[in-house]
């Protein structure tokens, strides 16, 4: 009965909002206000984003600490993956792991809500499944929108420490055909893409196809057999051999069709298979694993203007995620289906000084065969174990989420003040209220100050949902302040400080389960600046400094299993403690761009991140690896041989600096020296 009341409350809220009395005289529509905002930036390279208040606005004026990376920047700097793009942004650290990239933002791992055209890319079964590397092609990307700080009020669960939205190209952005091929060494990587766009006035369409193949791990595995008949493991003497990971493969198709600026259909489907090797903490056993992350979604958007001051927008999508994991020679499949619907109402008040965005949404997720590991795999792979296989459960579950949310912004002279609330009604876990507020004060044309406070939460891991009746949700309270100075288009400087409090914090180990609940306090400073001394040269840099206070993480482990005289199996448990992992506490980027002509661009980046810890359950303490300096260079030459043919050469780790970085259970080699050559042709 209570659940029915929650649904009724959502429907009633939407009804009341849509029927709110309106006075259209002397007021501006949300679209007109957006256009006025753009007019203030005529002559500048306007960086527009849409995720801060669910409407397009400049990053400078947005009610958030926001940043936009454009398609031109992505290509000019030789970025080929989303992880490479984000590691140049203050606050982000993209940790290299055997299976891909583990993202950190403001010292918190797996804390970012990743979106593709506002559709979530992440998985509910595990917070460490991401599409940050070649699983997501940048060939069809128009811009990347970034918010640092909680964003649950407008985006719901998992907008914890920030939001990243990948915006694809449209037929209005690109007309014609563009093809591209690339080759990278080491690894014999071959890639290609085709972009096609057309603007017919009343309608426009865009289609992109990309593919990639290469060897991403040249390790050699010595443990090649383990699962025998699903009852006992293979005999120790028969487990060993020599194998190398297969080539990794990636295919992606994206498309977008829009009719008369009021109806839009977006679709994306991708298939990828990444092969890699894992090594235990002693370094004596290495085995092969692979990840397949097929992902597809279909999204429909509609916009209707009610009158000059208000509009209604509808968004609905269906996404299908089918992860498949192979561990040695055994395969595990999972399925995750999501249905989502959202209705948003926009209205302006008082001649455009007040803006309201509110609405309601419904989301349903169906999960099949979520993996729950009861034992610690690396330990059971040892030769001493001849009798036991890891205990693994594959569980099905579903979840529903009804939400009501609203955000109001009001302009008082040079000051914008906003306030937002969101109530989420969950099934099967607890309901949650999210809150945000802030003020943006334009002291002059040169100076702007933003002060923000917000709360957010994360949905539980699959194991939490399965084992706890109503699990406590991990939550964050974050206070941020940003001071930005931009006296001209040639120079700008921004300093942002923040303090975050995490409560009911839980860490996840791939095989060993969950840590016990904990709390952490994280403080940090993010400094970035840009200087253009002459038209042809531009310098930019950013610095992130972090500090963490809080108790150690505690894991409750079954360190061994034994058989009683009566034949029953018993477990022995022990508590182990490890420090909280914020990644490096210092991250620095120094970048320079040289454009001596319209045809040639050179980009160079020096990157430093300080020492990091390898923290893994059942390890004896933690292992610290030293800080690293890296040097990357990219050059672009346009109209090579004939008009429309562009050449890009990207060199990573130019100094060929050999270094180790924390893997899952053992240190792994850092990214080596590599060269990628790409040719692009517009037809």
Tell me the three-class secondary structure of 39-92, residue by residue. HCCCCCCCCEECCCCCCCEECCCCCCEEEEEEHHHHHHCCCCCHHHHHCCCCCE
How distant, in Å, are the alpha carbons of 57, 141, 142, 192, 552 from that of 72?
A: 19, 10, 9, 19, 44
Q: For position 294, what pLDDT does the model report?
A: 94
Name which of 88-97, 344-353, 436-445 the model is least confident about. 344-353
Cα 481 from Cα 498, distance rounded (Å): 6
Q: Which of the four pLDDT bands, split at 50, 70 and 90, describes residue 46?
A: low
Residue 447 falls inside a structural domain: yes
Residue 543 falls inside a structural domain: no
Tell me: pLDDT of 342 over 90: yes
**Count of C-beta atoms within a 10 Å radius of residue 28:** 20
In this prediction, what percent of the chain has a pLDDT beyond 70? 90
Average pLDDT (299-320) is 94
From start to end of 215-334, where are the E strands? 221-223, 240-243, 248-259, 263-279, 286-292, 295-307, 310-321, 324-327, 330-333
441-466 pLDDT, tens digit per residue, is 999 989 999 999 999 998 887 777 77
Q: For position 585, what pLDDT does the model report?
A: 96
Strand (E) or helix (H) holding 34: helix 30-39
Tell me: pLDDT of 5 over 50: no
Residue 384 falls inside a structural domain: yes
Tell me: pLDDT of 510 over 70: no
* Structure letter (DSSP) for residue 351: G
Residue 657 falls inside a structural domain: no
Q: For position 511, what pLDDT does the model report?
A: 59
462-504 pLDDT, tens digit per residue, is 777 776 666 778 999 999 999 999 999 899 999 999 999 999 8
Q: For position 565, what pLDDT does the model report?
A: 83
Q: For position 18, what pLDDT does the model report?
A: 37
Q: For position 509, what pLDDT does the model report?
A: 66
Residue 300 falls inside a structural domain: yes
Q: What is the mean pLDDT of the chain?
A: 87
**CB-based contacts of 125: which residues, under 8 Å, 6+ apart?**
323, 334, 336, 367, 370, 371, 461, 462
Average pLDDT (40-60) is 71
Helices (H) and strands (E) in the chain, counts: 7, 45
Q: For position 180, what pLDDT does the model report?
A: 96
Residue 35 falls inside a structural domain: yes
Residue 556 falls inside a structural domain: yes
Cα 6 from Cα 12, distance rounded (Å): 10
**Count of C-beta atoms within a 10 Å radius of residue 553:** 21
Contact (CB, 8 A) for 267 and 297: yes
Name which of 142-146, 196-200, 392-396, 634-638 the model is least confident about. 392-396
Q: For position 370, what pLDDT does the model report?
A: 86
Name residue, tokens 């017919």.
Answer: 200
Q: Is 11 helix (H, G, I), strand (E, B) or coil?
A: helix
Q: What is the CATH number of the domain that holds 18?
A: 2.40.170
Please indicate whether residue 54 or residue 340 has the higher confidence score (pLDDT).
340
Domain of residue 319, residue span: 2-521+528-537+548-585
Residue 435 falls inside a structural domain: yes
Outline where 132-278 has alpha helix (H): 152-155
User: Total structural domains in the chain?
Assistant: 1
Q: For position 141, what pLDDT does the model report?
A: 95
Tell me: pLDDT of 30 over 70: no
110-137 pLDDT, tens digit per residue, is 999 999 999 999 888 777 789 999 999 9
Name residue, tokens 């399925």.
Answer: 335
Average pLDDT (98-103) is 94
Q: How far is CA 176 from the centre of its chain?
A: 30
Name residue, tokens 């999508």.
Answer: 317
Contact (CB, 8 A) for 475 and 520: no
Q: For position 486, what pLDDT does the model report?
A: 93
Q: For position 426, what pLDDT does the model report?
A: 87
């Amino acid at each position: 009965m209570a659940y029915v009341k929650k649904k009724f409350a959502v429907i009633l809220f939407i009804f009341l909002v849509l029927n709110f009395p309106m006075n259209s005289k002397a007021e501006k529509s949300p679209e007109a206000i957006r256009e006025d905002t753009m007019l203030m930036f005529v002559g500048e390279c306007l960086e527009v984003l849409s995720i801060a208040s669910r409407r397009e606005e400049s990053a400078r004026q947005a009610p958030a600490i926001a940043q936009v990376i454009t398609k031109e920047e992505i290509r000019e700097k030789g970025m080929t993956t989303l992880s490479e793009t984000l590691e140049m942004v203050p606050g982000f650290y993209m940790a290299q792991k055997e299976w891909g990239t583990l993202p950190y933002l403001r010292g918190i791992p797996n804390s970012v809500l990743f979106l593709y055209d506002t559709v979530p890319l992440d998985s509910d079964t595990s917070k460490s499944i991401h599409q940050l590397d070649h699983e997501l092609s940048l060939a069809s990307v128009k811009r990347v929108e970034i918010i640092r700080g909680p964003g649950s009020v407008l985006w719901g669960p998992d907008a914890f420490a920030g939001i990243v939205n990948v915006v694809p190209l449209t037929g209005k952005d690109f007309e014609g055909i563009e093809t591209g091929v690339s080759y990278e060494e080491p690894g014999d990587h071959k890639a290609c893409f085709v972009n096609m766009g057309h603007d017919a006035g009343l309608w426009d369409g865009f289609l992109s196809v990309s593919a990639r193949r290469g060897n991403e791990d040249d390790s050699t595995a010595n443990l090649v057999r383990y699962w025998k008949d699903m009852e006992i493991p293979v005999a120790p003497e028969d487990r060993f051999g020599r194998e190398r990971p297969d080539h990794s493969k990636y295919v992606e198709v994206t498309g977008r069709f829009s009719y008369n600026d009021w109806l839009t259909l977006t679709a994306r489907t991708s298939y990828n298979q990444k092969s890699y090797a894992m090594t235990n903490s002693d370094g004596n056993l290495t085995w092969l694993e692979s990840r397949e992350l097929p992902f597809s979604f279909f999204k429909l958007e509609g916009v209707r203007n009610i009158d000059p001051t208000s509009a209604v927008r509808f968004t609905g999508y269906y996404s299908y995620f089918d992860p498949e994991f192979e561990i040695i020679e055994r395969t595990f499949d999972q399925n995750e289906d999501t249905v989502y619907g959202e209705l948003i109402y926009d209205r302006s008040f008082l001649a455009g000084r007040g803006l309201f965005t509110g609405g309601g949404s419904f989301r349903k997720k169906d999960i099949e065969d979520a993996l729950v590991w009861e034992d610690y795999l690396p330990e059971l792979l040892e030769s001493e174990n001849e009798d036991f296989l890891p205990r693994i459960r594959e569980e099905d579950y579903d979840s529903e989420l009804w939400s009501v949310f609203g955000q109001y912004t009001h302009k008082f002279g040079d000051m914008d003040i906003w306030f937002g609330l969101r109530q989420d009604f969950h099934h099967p876990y607890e309901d949650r209220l999210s809150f945000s507020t802030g003020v943006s004060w334009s002291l002059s044309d040169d100076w702007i100050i933003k002060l923000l406070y917000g709360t957010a939460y994360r949905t539980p891991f699959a194991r939490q949902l399965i084992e706890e009746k109503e699990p406590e949700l991990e939550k964050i309270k974050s206070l941020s302040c940003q001071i930005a100075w931009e006296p001209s288009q040639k120079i700008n400087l921004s300093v942002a400080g923040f303090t975050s409090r995490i409560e009911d914090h839980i860490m996840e180990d791939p095989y060993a389960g969950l840590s016990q609940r904990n709390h952490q306090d994280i403080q940090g400073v993010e400094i970035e600046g840009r200087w253009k001394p002459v038209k042809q040269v531009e310098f930019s840099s950013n610095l992130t400094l972090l500090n963490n206070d809080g108790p150690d993480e505690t894991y409750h482990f079954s360190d061994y299993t034994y058989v009683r005289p009566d034949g029953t199996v018993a477990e022995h448990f022990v508590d182990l403690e490890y420090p909280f992992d914020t990644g490096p506490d210092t991250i620095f980027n120094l970048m320079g761009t040289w454009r001596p002509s319209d045809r040639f661009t050179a980009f160079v980046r020096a990157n430093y991140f300080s020492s990091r810890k390898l923290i893994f359950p059942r390890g004896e303490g933690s292992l610290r690896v030293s800080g690293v300096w890296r040097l990357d260079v990219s050059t672009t030459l346009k109209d090579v041989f004939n008009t429309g043919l562009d050449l890009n050469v990207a060199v990573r780790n130019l100094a060929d600096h050999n270094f180790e970085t924390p893997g899952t259970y053992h240190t792994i080699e850092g990214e080596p020296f590599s060269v990628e050559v790409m040719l692009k042709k517009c037809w």
